[in-house]
């Protein structure tokens, strides 16, 4: 999941009303309904009546970081196998029904969650709920579907990871940055472990995690909450509650106390680039205000053309062709903050790295200006209004937040928490977490360049 | 350090997809408006989110780059937020940021596109900046040099990638000497020769009211929208100065091989297609849907992916450009099964060419292409604005939307069989990129 974006977009709900007031034909700002069925399934309804479309998503609170050792890729493989049919609906029927109504459907797996979704006309919602609730417990996995689908997943890995030097390096950076936490393992799985995944592995994973009390249902679109409640009770409501799962406590990281370097040379690389990563707290685990400060730090340091890295390293000194920062504050467990860059012609990779390091050092030393802070906050708050424009985004924002253990209030209160961040807090988190002497640095190099 | 999710299947099966147009949605009202100065546009009024999105297209894209100055259209689109009127680059960007607006310009082969998404309550400031960018871009040397350096860096970055070589050879094989064969982003050499005067001349030639198409979506009434048209575009010249681009037919029946030690072999195939104005267009559109379209039920996905696990994705699409068209198929598989995958794909195609579709397949494809319109084309203001402009670029009237479903429903099995026989019996141009040596036993 691109969690940073999801969180940046997460503001939505409360911002609309004052702005709407001066428009000619305002509607009521959408009221987001949130309730829990008797079997433990959490439900979120986000009304949006602009077009006759409804987004229906089921999020399971399980991802690749919950996999048993040696079974990397099983969460994602099972996601594929979820389309292989039940006693009531044989394989292919869901796809056929969706296609016939002109809908679309897909599914995805991340380290922390697995989600299934359809975007359909509102009168198909009941049918989608019927299918989705049926396969929550009713999946039938026969041996004959396993081989071909595992081959599909292997091709997926070859296409998306093995065929891309950038993706391969990123995989190795994660495996180096995380020394103990399962975020070190790729969501799609290691090739040699995917090859060994079997029906029993998938069935065991399914039995354990796919149950209403480990899921969140999100319905966004041209429907009213009462209808959703009635439909949900008639479908999902009939699925029996499963055993209560133990808390998601994963192996945690030891103290990070070394500088590590990961280098990949590949003949396909035309210009070198580098990245520098740290493990930092996230919204779920941070001290109050720290995750918000890290989000704004990422924006001010490297979040676009007004950022320091862009202005100083690309515009003013002309050393970099690219430079920026990312922060994944929405993961379930602490994850990464990263800086990256590549040189313009006439400059070396070392020049860019030095220039970016210097900007970080300067920020740690002198902090940020009030003007930078105000602009960054305004951009965050604005992005949430923009996010309301795409119904599926809204479903995504709420689904991921709740599946990761957050609440609707966390999303609605988020703008105020962003607004409360001070310049001092930003300087403090930079100094506390972005210590250059313990970073993992990665280099993607043309073959002849060698190590820097 | 963003861990991307793994998806069950690719979002778009192949890269060369094009937006095709589609039918009615009673709930989304398309209005045709004309400004006091006579500028036409389409509008969708919607107040549920306090936003306004404007998108426009100016016909004449990278095919208008002068010989030896390839990359000009691409470069110019990177410079509209780099200074306009009295505002230099920094001043312009600060004002744009303060106005809470997002502005974007892009170019493809046939048009230059601009768009702005703005908050309704900061609309006037945002529109003022867009007007300035459209009318009086500065093209200062410093931003020119910087943006050129970034484009050159991206060309250099991909120069060693076998995919880049494959793309260049593919374009050359299909389009020969036609401007469509050129590299849209240019080359380091052609970019080096582009001056501020070239940019000014391009701007003057392309930015006119006669080749302009506009879509407006959001919190704006028809009268305000009409005034906005004059504000933004009223000062532009009446007619553009476009270099004529000839229509052409791609070259089929060629075979290309790019050998490279990769984990997969990518396979691309190009077959003939038909013009948007051909009466058989919807028969071809439905044929493509049945063969390898968006739905996972297509024959290619069923045979190549679902039954045999040969690929993560395979798809076909109709590539309908202003001056040419083709049916493109794309997939990737592990090298030792590439020959098998190609043979199977050709077999699926040959069967459709020989026998046409079944009644059930056609009925299902019709339902899909009619029903998917709202979801594919109207999912957000940006998508709606894109659709509005796309319809106008293809010369389709505002009433066309209501007629589309009827035209689709009128297509018969015999129609699809006839067009399949006509298009799919041709020998395709095929490109294979990967470790070919291992592909043949």
- The distance of B52 to chain A (nearest Cα, Å) reads 10
Judged by CB atoms closer than 8 Å, whether chains meet at B309 and A120 is answered as: no
What 3-state DSSP class applies to A291?
helix
* B2·A3 Cβ contact <8 A: yes
Is the CB of B146 less than 8 angstroms away from the CB of A314?
A: yes
What per-residue confidence (pLDDT) applies to B398?
A: 87
CA-closest candidate to residue B158, choices A326, A323, A164, A263: A164
pLDDT at A452: 42
| Percentage, residues of chain B above pLDDT 70 | 93
Cβ contact, residue pair A328, B2, below 8 Å: yes
Residue with tokens 């991802």: A63
Between B200 and B159, residue with greater pLDDT: B200
How close, in Å, is residue A365 to chain B by CA atoms?
25
| B319: nearest Cα among B79, B14, B8, B6 | B14
Mutate to test the interface with A, among B54, B292, B371, B375 (most CBs of A within 10 A): B375
Neighbour count for residue B2 (Cβ, 10 Å)? 18
Ranges in chain A, pLDDT < 50 = 1-28, 450-452
The answer to whether the Cβ–Cβ distance between A52 and B94 falls below 8 Å is no
Q: How confident is residue B240, by pLDDT bands cut at 50, 70 and 90?
A: very high
CB B247 within 8 A of CB B179: no
Per the CB < 8 Å rule, is A109 touching B49? no
- The backbone torsions φ and ψ at residue A280, rounded to the nearest 5 degrees and listed phi first, read -135, 160
Whole-model pTM: value is 0.91
Tokens of A284: 């779920």
Taking CB atoms and an 8 Å cutoff, what residues of chain B touch A24?
47, 219, 221
pLDDT at B401 over 80: no
Tell whether A190 lies on the interface with B, counting CB pairs under 8 A: no
d(CA A411, CA A395): 12
Instruction: For this complex, say whether ipTM is above 0.90.
Output: no
Query: Which positions in chain B touch A328 (Cβ < 8 Å)?
Result: 1-3
pLDDT at residue B114 greater than cutoff 60: yes
- Active-site residue among A67, A79, A290, A292? A79
Contact A296, A219 (CB under 8 A): no
| Residue B333: strand pairing partners | B265
Orientation of helix B400-409 relative to helix B281-292, angle to 10° = 70
Q: How many CB pairs under 8 A join A and B?
A: 248
Inter-residue contact B180 to B321 (CB < 8 Å): yes
| Contact yes or no for A385 and B51 at CB 8 A | yes
Residue B406 confidence (pLDDT) above 50 = yes
Q: Give the per-residue pLDDT at A384.
A: 82
Put simply, the answer to whether B160 touches A151 (Cβ < 8 Å) is: no
Q: Is A65 on the interface with B (CB under 8 A)?
A: no
CA distance B411 to B421: 15
**Tokens standing for B100?**
């809470």
Cβ of A170 under 8 Å from any chain B Cβ?
Answer: yes
- Cβ atoms of B100 and A378 within 8 Å: the answer is yes
Q: Which residues contact B178 (CB under 8 A, 6 or more apart)?
A: B245, B246, B248, B323, B324
The predicted structure's pLDDT at residue A7? 29
A261 touches chain B (CB under 8 A): no
Contacts of B115 (CB under 8 A, 6+ apart): B53, B54, B55, B56, B103, B104, B105, B382, B385
Name the residue with tokens 């009223």.
B234
Across B268-272, B308-312, B432-436, least confident range: B432-436
What's the rounded mean pLDDT across residues B324-335? 95
Question: Helix B281-292 and helix B413-424: axis angle, to 10°?
Answer: 80
Whether the predicted pLDDT of B140 surpasses 70:
yes
Nearest CA in chain A to B46: A50
- Give contacts of B99 with chain A, Cβ < 8 Å: none
Query: Which among B55, B108, B335, B54 is positioned nearest to B220, based on CA atoms?
Result: B54
Instruction: State the pLDDT at residue A388.
Output: 86
Residue of chain B minimizing CA distance to A84: B306
Hey, CA dihedral for B353, B358, B361, B367, is it positive or negative? positive
**Pick from B3, B153, B382: CB nearest A321:** B153
Query: Cβ of A345 and B378 within 8 Å?
Result: no
Tokens 């410079």 sit at which residue? B79
Nearest chain B CA: its distance from A344 CA (Å): 6
Angle at which helices B413-424 and B359-377 cross, to 10°: 80
Average pLDDT for B163-170: 92
The string of pLDDT tens digits covering residues B58-76 is: 999 999 999 999 999 999 9
Weakest-pLDDT range from A337-351, B214-228, B365-379: B365-379
Helix H or strand E segment including A248: none
B159 and A23: CB-CB below 8 Å? no
Kindly report, residue by residue over B411-432, the tens digit of the pLDDT: 999 999 999 999 999 999 999 9
**A277 — contact with chain B (CB < 8 Å)?**
yes
Residue B5: per-residue pLDDT: 56
Which residue of chain B has the CA closest to A276?
B1
State whether residue A322 sits within 8 Å of chain B by CB. yes
In a mutational test of the B interface, the residue from A63, A76, A99 whose CB has the highest number of chain B CBs within 10 Å is A99
B6-34 pLDDT, tens digit each: 566 665 433 332 222 233 344 678 899 99
C-alpha A442/C-alpha A275 separation (Å) is 5
Mean pLDDT of B368-384: 86
State whether B5 and A270 contact (CB < 8 Å). no
Q: How many helices (H) and strands (E) does chain B have?
A: 15, 14
Q: Does A268 lie at the interface with B, CB-CB under 8 angstroms?
A: yes
Q: Is A217 exposed, middle or buried (0-12, 13-18, 19+ CB in 10 A)?
A: buried
Active site includes A132?
no
């Amino acid at each position: 999941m691109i969690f940073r974006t999801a969180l940046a977009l997460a503001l939505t709900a409360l911002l609309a009303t004052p702005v709407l007031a001066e428009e000619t034909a305002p509607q009521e700002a959408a009221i987001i309904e949130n309730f829990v069925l008797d079997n433990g399934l959490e439900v979120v309804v986000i009304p949006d009546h602009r077009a006759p479309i409804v987004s229906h998503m089921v999020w399971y609170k399980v991802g690749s970081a919950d996999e048993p050792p040696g079974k990397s890729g099983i969460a994602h493989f099972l996601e594929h196998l979820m389309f292989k049919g039940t006693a009531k609906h044989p394989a292919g029927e869901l796809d056929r029904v969706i296609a016939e109504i002109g809908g679309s459907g897909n599914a995805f797996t991340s380290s922390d969650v697995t989600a299934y979704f359809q975007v359909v006309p509102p009168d198909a919602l009941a049918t989608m709920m019927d299918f989705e609730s049926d396969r929550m417990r009713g999946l039938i996995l026969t041996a004959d579907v396993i081989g071909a689908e595992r081959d599909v997943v292997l091709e997926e890995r070859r296409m998306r990871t093995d065929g891309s030097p950038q993706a391969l390096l990123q995989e190795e950076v994660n495996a180096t940055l995380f020394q103990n936490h399962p975020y070190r393992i790729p969501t799609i799985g290691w090739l040699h472990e995917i090859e060994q995944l079997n029906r029993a592995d998938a069935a065991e994973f399914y039995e354990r995690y796919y149950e209403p009390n480990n899921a969140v249902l999100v319905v966004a679109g041209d429907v009213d909450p009462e209808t959703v409640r009635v439909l949900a009770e008639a479908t999902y409501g009939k699925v029996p509650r499963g055993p209560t799962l133990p808390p998601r406590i994963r192996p945690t990281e030891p103290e990070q106390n070394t500088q590590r370097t990961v280098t990949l040379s590949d003949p396909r690389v035309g210009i070198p680039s580098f990245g520098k990563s740290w493990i930092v707290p996230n919204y779920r685990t941070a001290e109050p205000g720290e995750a918000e400060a890290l989000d704004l730090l990422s924006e001010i340091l490297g979040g676009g053309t007004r950022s320091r890295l862009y202005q100083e390293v690309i515009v003013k000194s002309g050393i970099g062709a690219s430079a920026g920062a990312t922060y994944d504050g929405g993961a379930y467990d602490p994850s990464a903050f990263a800086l990256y860059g590549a040189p313009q012609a006439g400059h070396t990779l070392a020049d860019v790295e030095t220039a970016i390091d210097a900007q970080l050092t300067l920020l740690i030393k002198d902090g940020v200006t009030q003007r930078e802070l105000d602009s960054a906050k305004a951009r965050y708050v604005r992005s949430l209004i923009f996010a309301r424009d795409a119904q599926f985004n809204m479903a995504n924002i709420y689904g991921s937040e709740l599946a990761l253990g957050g609440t609707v209030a966390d999303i609605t209160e988020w703008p105020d928490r962003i607004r409360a961040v001070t310049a001092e807090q930003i300087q403090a988190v930079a100094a506390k977490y972005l210590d250059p002497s313990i970073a993992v640095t990665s280099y993607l190099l043309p073959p002849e360049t060698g190590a820097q | 350090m963003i861990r991307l999710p793994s998806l069950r299947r690719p979002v778009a099966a192949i890269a060369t997809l094009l937006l095709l147009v589609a039918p009615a949605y009673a709930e989304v009202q398309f209005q045709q408006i004309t400004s006091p100065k006579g500028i036409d546009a389409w509008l969708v009024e919607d107040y549920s989110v306090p936003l306004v999105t404007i998108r426009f297209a100016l016909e004449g894209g990278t095919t208008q780059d002068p010989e030896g100055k390839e990359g000009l259209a691409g470069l110019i689109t990177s410079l509209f937020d780099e200074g306009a009127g009295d505002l230099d680059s920094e001043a312009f960007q600060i004002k744009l940021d303060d106005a809470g607006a997002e502005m974007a310009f892009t170019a493809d082969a046939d048009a230059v596109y601009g768009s702005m998404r703005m908050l309704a309550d900061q609309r006037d400031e945002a529109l003022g900046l867009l007007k300035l960018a459209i009318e009086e871009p500065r093209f200062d040397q410093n931003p020119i040099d910087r943006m050129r350096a970034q484009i050159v860096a991206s060309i250099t970055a991909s120069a060693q990638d076998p995919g880049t070589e494959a793309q260049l050879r593919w374009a050359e094989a299909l389009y020969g000497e036609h401007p469509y064969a050129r590299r849209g982003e240019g080359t380091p050499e052609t970019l080096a020769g582009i001056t501020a005067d070239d940019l000014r001349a391009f701007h003057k030639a392309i930015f006119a009211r006669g080749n302009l198409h506009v879509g407006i979506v959001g919190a704006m009434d028809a009268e305000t929208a009409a005034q906005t048209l004059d504000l933004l575009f009223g000062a532009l010249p009446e007619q553009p100065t476009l270099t004529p681009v000839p229509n052409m037919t791609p070259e089929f029946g060629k075979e290309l091989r790019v050998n490279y030690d990769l984990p997969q072999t990518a396979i691309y195939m190009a077959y003939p297609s038909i013009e948007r104005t051909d009466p058989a267009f919807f028969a071809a559109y439905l044929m493509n849907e049945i063969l390898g379209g968006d739905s996972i039920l297509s024959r290619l996905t069923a045979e190549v992916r679902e039954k045999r696990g040969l690929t993560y994705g395979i798809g076909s699409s109709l590539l309908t450009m202003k001056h040419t068209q083709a049916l493109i198929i794309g997939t990737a598989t592990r090298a030792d099964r590439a020959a098998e995958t190609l043979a199977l794909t050709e077999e699926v195609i040959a069967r459709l060419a020989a026998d046409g579709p079944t009644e059930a397949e056609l009925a299902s494809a019709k339902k899909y292409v009619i029903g998917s319109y709202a979801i594919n084309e109207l999912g957000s203001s940006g998508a709606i604005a894109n659709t509005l402009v796309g319809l106008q670029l293809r010369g389709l009237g505002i009433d066309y939307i209501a007629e589309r479903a009827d035209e689709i429903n009128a297509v018969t099995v015999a129609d699809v069989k006839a067009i399949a026989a006509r298009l799919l019996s041709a020998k395709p141009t095929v490109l294979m990129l990967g470790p070919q040596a291992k592909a043949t036993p």
